[in-house]
Structure 1
């Protein structure tokens, strides 16, 4: 089955790898007057997403370059992966969008994949480095 998102393997059936600028979307506009989620709630949601091959969440790996909440509760994320040939490249943006859209007070979520700048281990938190024996 073909994915409605170019480069996004929505159905896990072996679709193509994600390219620069690939986007995943989730969520719905918030009703007017809805209280927006707090930044720490967004961070907590991002920490629930893991690369299945690495026992550390994507936030601590340093894969989230930017996470911005708009005045209306919509969230824009720019993220990368450890490598363009990452086996979950086509799935990860969708997982991030779904995790954030599940937070109360979050509207529509757009996750954009970038390869610039390339990810390096220097971007990991100290907790991630310790978990992966990078010290």
Structure 2
């Protein structure tokens, strides 16, 4: 499932100014990206929706995971409903779980409701667990 994890293009990095002395990050190899991606996915699978006994990754609440060459991580996610009672807590739970992966830089979690979540986003494993077949 590491195909869901992408590197951030170097073009998105801010232009270097004369005051900046740090060398640009070395691009991640495909093997490094796979390893990091698998660790991030494992961390995401430790976070559960409080109303549904399935982890947020299998529920399809994670829309995008970007890993920059400096190992900063940006996650776009949603909730099962905009009025979810844990809307304020869930991004913090996700950030804390992913920050537990060794060697990562900053972790940013963005909440989006576009597109809205639907049960079709759930994995087959999640549907089986919830008897939706």
- TM-score, L = length of structure 1: 0.72
List runs of 5+ in structure 1 lacking aligned partners.
1-31
> Which residue in 1 is equivalent to 2:19?
none
Question: How many pairs were matched up?
Answer: 103
> Which residue in 2 is equivalent to 1:29?
none
> Which residue in 2 is equivalent to 1:39?
37
List runs of 5+ in structure 2 lacking aligned partners.
1-24, 27-31
> Which residue in 2 is equivalent to 1:128?
126
Q: Provide the rounded CA distance (Å) in 2 between the counterparts of 1:95 and 1:47.
A: 11
- TM-score, L = length of structure 2: 0.73
Higher percent of residues as helix: 2
Which structure would you say has the larger RCO, counting Cα contacts within 8 Å and 6 or more residues apart?
1
Q: Provide the rounded CA distance (Å) in 1 between the counterparts of 2:40 and 2:57.
A: 10
Q: CA RMSD in A?
A: 1.6
Q: Provide the rounded CA distance (Å) in 2 between the counterparts of 1:114 and 1:89.
A: 11
What are the Cα deviations for residues 21-69 of structure 1, in whole angstroms up to 9, with x where unaligned? xxxxxxxxxxx89x88621001000000001111000000000000111
